[in-house]
């Protein structure tokens, strides 16, 4: 058992730290068992399991926050439940009832309550649901037994040094997803392939890669594990859903906040990377549960660098960041019904 008192919640990053309890449910003979809370720990798995051999696995990522008055909240968990089932269907795995999913998430949070970073630390309890083909197989087909696990990790604020822009490299070498593939599912397969490109970009001094579409190598898809936004000709634009991008819950929320709260014109469309080099592009940022809203300071391709807004977070980026985090931290009224109390 880890003593939560041994954790310095004020210096957390985004790294694995063990918490005490996880939720486990098993799917056998065509049905889910009740599932239960158990101590966090290892379990046995067959070397012939489908997930180890063929990558039949999916995950989700969400955060529980502690509010000023001590309340614990979740942001749109039903959307994570829906996406979890979308991903499960794509990977030929059984769905998990969405109400039971939220219920299990709440149970794990409550069981690990002492690991939720305090309000003034800016941190969160990151929640990681995973589902995978557990049973042994040999040919390329689905496992017959599946395991769902939900564990938690205390994480620090995304911006320990403040809200600063990142430098990104546009890749003409690597792609993340192709039409007809699994890009819009949160399957583990999509992530292993992005580790080498990300590492190479880091050695060149970039925080992450901007992936382009696999067909034309022209249209922006995503930034590592975050969605992309830019202000172009005074409109907020983001890549349209082509089946190759992960349809972020933060992305969806930002589109709504931009149009309903800021009165901005928003567009989901193909965005050529070349548009980022034009003066009409005034600011850009990326979004996600982990990234929240991260300003983009510059983009580069083959040594051609475009600095955005003097490397400062743009006006719209700041406004959206304040709105989104204000709602998430229960400091601004939640008129959209996005916040769930745990």
Ligand X SMILES: Cc1ncc(COP(=O)(O)O)c(C=O)c1O
List interacting residues with ligand X (CB under 6 A).
61, 222, 225-227, 246, 248-251, 287-289
Smallest distance from ligand X to CB 288, Å: 3
Instruction: State which residue, 122 or 248, has the beta carbon closest to ligand X.
Output: 248
When the beta carbons of 167 and 222 are compared against ligand X, the nearer one is 222
Task: Give whichever of 75 and 206 is closer to ligand X, judged by the CB atom.
Answer: 75
Task: Please say which residue, 35 or 288, places its beta carbon nearer to ligand X.
Answer: 288
* Residue 48 C-beta: closest distance to ligand X, Å: 28
- The residue with its CB nearest to ligand X is 248
Catalytic residue among 186, 260, 261, 341: 186
| Minimum distance of ligand X from residue 10's CB (angstroms) | 24
284 contacts 276 by C-beta, under 8 angstroms: yes
Does the annotation count 274 as an active-site position?
Answer: no
Of residues 167 and 221, the one with the C-beta less far from ligand X: 221
- Smallest gap, in angstroms, from Cβ of residue 338 to ligand X? 12
Minimum CB separation of residue 44 from ligand X in Å reads 29
**Residue 123 phi, psi dihedral angles, 5° rounding:** -90, -175
Residues that are catalytic: 186
């Amino acid at each position: 058992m880890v003593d939560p008192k041994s954790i310095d919640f004020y210096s957390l990053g985004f790294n694995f730290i063990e918490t005490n309890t996880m939720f486990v449910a098993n799917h056998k003979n065509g049905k889910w068992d009740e599932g239960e809370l158990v101590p966090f720990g290892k379990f046995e798995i067959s070397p012939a399991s489908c997930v180890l051999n063929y990558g039949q696995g999916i995950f989700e990522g969400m955060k529980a926050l502690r509010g000023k008055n001590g309340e614990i909240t979740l942001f749109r968990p039903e959307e994570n439940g829906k996406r979890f089932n979308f991903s499960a269907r794509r990977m030929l795995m059984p769905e998990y009832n969405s109400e039971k999913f939220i219920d299990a998430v709440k149970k794990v949070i409550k069981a690990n309550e002492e690991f939720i970073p305090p309000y003034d630390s800016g941190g969160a309890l990151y929640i990681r649901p995973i589902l995978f083909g557990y049973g042994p197989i040999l040919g390329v087909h689905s496992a017959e037994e599946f395991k769902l696990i939900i564990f938690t990790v205390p994480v620090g604020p995304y911006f320990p040094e403040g809200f600063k822009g990142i430098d990104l490299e546009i890749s003409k070498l690597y792609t993340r997803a192709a039409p007809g593939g699994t890009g819009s599912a949160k399957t583990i397969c999509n992530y292993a392939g992005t580790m080498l490109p990300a590492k190479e970009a880091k050695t060149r001094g970039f925080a992450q890669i901007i992936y382009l579409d696999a067909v034309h190598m022209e249209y922006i898809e995503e930034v590592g594990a975050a969605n992309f936004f830019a202000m172009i000709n005074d409109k907020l634009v983001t890549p349209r859903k082509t089946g190759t991008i992960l349809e972020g819950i933060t992305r969806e929320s930002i589109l709504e906040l931009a149009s309903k709260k800021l009165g901005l014109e928003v567009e989901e469309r193909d965005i050529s990377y070349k548009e980022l080099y034009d003066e009409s592009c005034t600011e850009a940022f990326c979004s996600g549960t982990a990234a929240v809203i991260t300003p983009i300071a510059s983009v580069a391709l083959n040594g051609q660098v475009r600095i955005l807004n003097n490397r400062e977070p743009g006006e719209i980026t700041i406004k959206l960041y304040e709105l989104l985090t204000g709602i998430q931290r229960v400091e601004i009224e939640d008129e959209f019904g996005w916040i769930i109390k745990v």
